[in-house]
């Protein structure tokens, strides 16, 4: 019996191989009702394979794949999802309204055409053939197709590639609105600021495994490094010599320091240079955290391979 | 507490139930979209309709006197067969090869499209185009070449054309699972044109070398041509073997195609 707290999408210990290449190597992933989970990872980490399994496009070699507690290859499970894939060329000669009507016909209780069009901002494009649209407009139409079926779970694969800043902000706004209505979203993106702006949780993949899962803040906190900037007359070599400092660079009189012990370094800086000004201390962004995490995973994987060899 | 909820009242389960009328609606929408799509694609439609009619106009009507009194009737059957092969081979083969490559098939499979809707829509489109080709050629035969055809013969040829597209749909489907991407039209032509020639659709089989005559029954188009000949009264032989062979070809290609689609997607 389905329970309200049950995950609506789940990968449990999933292995998927393509010949000698292992795309997923025991991946674990759970998505709950109404949350936005961002799936991050470098190219080749296994994100596309994970999405393909959850959409029922491919079958796992081992492990369980569930969508609303069912096999995703059953269309009954997929009637509750909306899909926007990164690479999908829609029929060029069909008009936007025709594409929307066709996709809506697959669902039991779709939104009205006008509602979908308004949500995705394609109301003025309905009579236009798909081929005549700009890249950004085509992206918006694909987004409209994803949400037209009133889905409980939306798969968005790189939804804002090719969008200008304004269009991206608009799309984010609509995504937030859908989440407020109770729709869950599985987002894959290369833009970390997009994950930062939207995600409740992020899930970082590398080498076919999930190497980190948690809130955006938790991911940032995993990286203890903080950045210090200031204007100072101190020589960069001196600062670099301090044991707490990982790295220091100077640019005119701008000092840029990265350290795991920001408080201690700041105290030393102020003691050494009373004239110091424009002091800034920042936690590393998601981008740094992400880079560090995946670099660790790369190193671990390289060690594994050496040991295996 | 959990067990008190019955499946029917559970909103989560009820939400995914699809009324039969809506499933039927999805099939119709898919068919409508597929037809619209190709009617608006001149690069598909024009060659498919023009090749058989222009060939028939040239060889079956203008140059017919050189080929004897029965030439317009004989070539009507040949070019209907030739024409009917194209919507099946190209409508299925080329479009599947392209859509496997450009991600449309993946999107359709990820969406809750009813499983048969994609193939049924393409089949309907191919059948429709085959019917139009048969009507054009029949019209030319009757009004331009003055071939003396009874109503029953016309109806028989029309039915042969409309049903005869099915083995080529199956063959196109299989080809579409083997090839991928932009090279597909050329590759399908490499199958289509030689097969038409080797089945005696361009030159009557008796004019071809003995060895080619002997292997002609290997091609499905040969058998469809025999049926089309019979429809216009130029083949008095048994028809059942040809029908069964075509049914066999259809089943074989369908089986090969579904196996490949299941394995490679």
Q: Where are the domains of chain B?
A: 11-264
pLDDT of residue B16: 59
CA diameter of chain A: 71
In chain A, which residues touch B (CB < 8 A)?
1-3, 55-58, 68, 75-81, 83, 85, 87-91, 93-94, 98-99, 101-103, 105-109, 129, 149, 152, 155
Q: What is the CA radius of gyration of chain B?
A: 22
Residue-wise pLDDT for A225-276, tens only, equals 788 999 988 888 889 999 988 888 888 788 999 888 889 999 999 999 999 9
Q: How confident is the model at residue A2 (pLDDT cuts 50, 70, 90)?
A: low
CATH entry 3.40.50.300 includes domain A9-220:
yes
* Residue among B32, B107, B113 whose CB faces A88 most closely: B107
pLDDT of residue A306: 63
Q: Chain A residues with CB inside 8 Å of B109's CB?
A: 55-57
For chain A, the average pLDDT equals 89
Digitized pLDDT (tens) for each residue of chain B, 265 residues in all: 344 433 444 444 445 578 889 999 999 999 999 999 988 988 888 999 999 999 999 988 888 777 778 889 999 999 999 999 999 999 889 999 999 999 999 999 999 999 889 999 999 999 999 999 999 999 999 999 999 999 999 999 999 999 999 999 999 999 999 998 888 999 999 999 999 999 999 888 888 899 999 999 999 999 999 999 999 998 888 999 999 999 999 999 999 998 888 776 5
- Local structure of A303: helix, strand or coil: helix
Closest CA to B233 of B141, B140, B165: B141
Q: Where are the domains of chain A?
A: 9-220, 224-283
What is the rounded distance in angstroms from the CA atom of residue A193 to the CA atom of residue A173? 14
Could you please state the CATH topology (level 3) that the domain comprising A224-283 is classified under.
Answer: Alpha-Beta Plaits (3.30.70)
Q: Is B3 on the interface with A (CB under 8 A)?
A: yes
Q: Chain B residues with CB inside 8 Å of A68's CB?
A: 12, 16
Q: Do A58 and B265 form a contact (C-beta atoms < 8 A)?
A: yes
Q: What is the CA radius of gyration of chain A?
A: 23
Alpha-carbon dihedral sign for residues B124, B129, B133, B139: positive
Q: Do B126 and B169 form a contact (C-beta atoms < 8 A)?
A: yes
With CB atoms and an 8 Å threshold, state whether B37 touches A91.
yes
Q: How far is A78 from chain B (nearest CA, A)?
A: 5
What is the rounded distance in angstroms from the CA atom of residue B256 to the CA atom of residue B261? 9
With CB atoms and an 8 Å threshold, state whether B111 touches A106.
yes
Strand arrangement of the beta sheet that strand A245-251 belongs to: A245-251, A254-259, A226-231, A277-283
Residue-wise pLDDT for A201-230, tens only, equals 999 898 899 988 888 888 777 767 788 999
Q: How confident is the model at residue A192 (pLDDT cuts 50, 70, 90)?
A: confident
pLDDT of residue B220: 96
β-pairing, A209-214 with A226-231? unpaired
> Is the predicted pLDDT of residue A109 greater than 90, yes or no?
yes
* Residue among A81, A87, A149 whose CB faces B103 most closely: A87
Q: Chain A residues with CB inside 8 Å of B16's CB?
A: 68, 76-77, 79-80, 108
> Is the predicted pLDDT of residue A4 greater than 70, yes or no?
no
């Amino acid at each position: 019996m389905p329970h309200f707290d049950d995950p609506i999408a789940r990968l449990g210990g999933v292995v998927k191989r393509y010949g000698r290449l292992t795309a997923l190597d025991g991946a674990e992933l759970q998505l709950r009702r109404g949350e936005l989970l961002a799936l991050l990872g470098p190219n080749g980490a296994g994100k596309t394979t994970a999405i393909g399994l959850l959409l029922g496009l491919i079958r796992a070699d081992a492990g369980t794949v569930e969508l609303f507690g069912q096999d995703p290859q059953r269309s009954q499970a997929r009637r509750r999802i909306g899909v926007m894939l990164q690479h999908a060329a829609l029929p060029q000669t069909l008009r936007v309204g025709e594409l929307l009507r066709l996709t809506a016909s697959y669902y039991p209780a779709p939104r009205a055409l006008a509602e979908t069009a308004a949500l995705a901002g394609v109301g003025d494009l309905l009579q236009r053939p798909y081929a005549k649209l700009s890249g950004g407009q085509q992206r918006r139409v694909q987004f409209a197709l994803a949400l037209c079926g009133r889905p409980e779970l939306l798969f968005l694969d790189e939804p804002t590639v090719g969008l200008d800043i304004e269009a991206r902000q608009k799309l984010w706004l609509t995504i937030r609105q859908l989440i407020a209505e109770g729709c869950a979203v599985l987002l894959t993106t290369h833009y970390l600021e997009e994950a930062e702006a939207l995600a409740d949780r992020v899930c970082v993949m590398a080498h076919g495994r999930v190497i980190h899962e948690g809130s955006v803040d938790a991911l940032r906190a995993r990286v203890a490094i903080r950045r210090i900037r200031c204007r100072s007359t101190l020589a960069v070599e001196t600062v670099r010599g301090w044991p707490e400092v990982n790295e220091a660079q100077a640019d005119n009189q701008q000092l840029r320091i990265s350290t795991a012990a920001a408080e201690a370094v700041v105290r030393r800086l102020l003691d050494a240079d009373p004239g110091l000004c424009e002091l800034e201390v920042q936690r590393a962004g998601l981008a740094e955290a992400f880079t560090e995490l995946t670099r660790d995973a790369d190193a671990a994987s390289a060690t594994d391979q050496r040991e295996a060899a | 507490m959990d067990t008190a909820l019955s499946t029917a009242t559970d909103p989560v389960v009820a939400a995914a139930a699809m009324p039969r009328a809506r499933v039927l609606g999805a099939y119709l929408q898919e068919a409508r979209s597929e037809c619209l799509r190709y009617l608006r694609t001149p690069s598909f439609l024009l060659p498919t309709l023009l090749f058989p009619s222009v060939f028939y106009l040239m060889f079956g009507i203008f140059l017919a006197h050189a080929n004897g009194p029965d030439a317009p009737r004989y070539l009507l059957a040949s070019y209907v067969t030739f024409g009917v092969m194209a919507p099946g081979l190209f409508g299925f083969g080329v479009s599947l090869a392209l859509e496997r490559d450009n991600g449309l098939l993946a999107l359709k499979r990820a969406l809750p499209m009813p499983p048969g809707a994609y193939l049924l829509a393409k089949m309907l489109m191919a059948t429709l185009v085959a019917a139009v080709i048969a009507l054009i050629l029949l019209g030319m035969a009757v009004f331009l070449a003055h071939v003396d055809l009874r109503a029953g013969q016309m109806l028989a040829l029309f039915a042969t054309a409309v049903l005869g597209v099915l083995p080529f749909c199956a063959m196109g489907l299989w080809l579409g699972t083997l090839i991928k991407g932009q090279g597909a039209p050329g590759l399908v032509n490499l199958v289509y044109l030689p097969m038409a020639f080797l089945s005696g659709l361009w030159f009557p089989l008796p004019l071809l070398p003995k060895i080619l005559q002997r292997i002609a029954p290997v091609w499905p188009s040969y058998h469809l041509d025999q049926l089309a000949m019979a429809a216009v009264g130029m083949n008095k032989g048994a028809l059942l073997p040809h029908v069964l062979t075509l049914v066999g070809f259809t089943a074989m290609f369908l089986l090969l195609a579904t196996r490949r689609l299941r394995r490679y997607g």
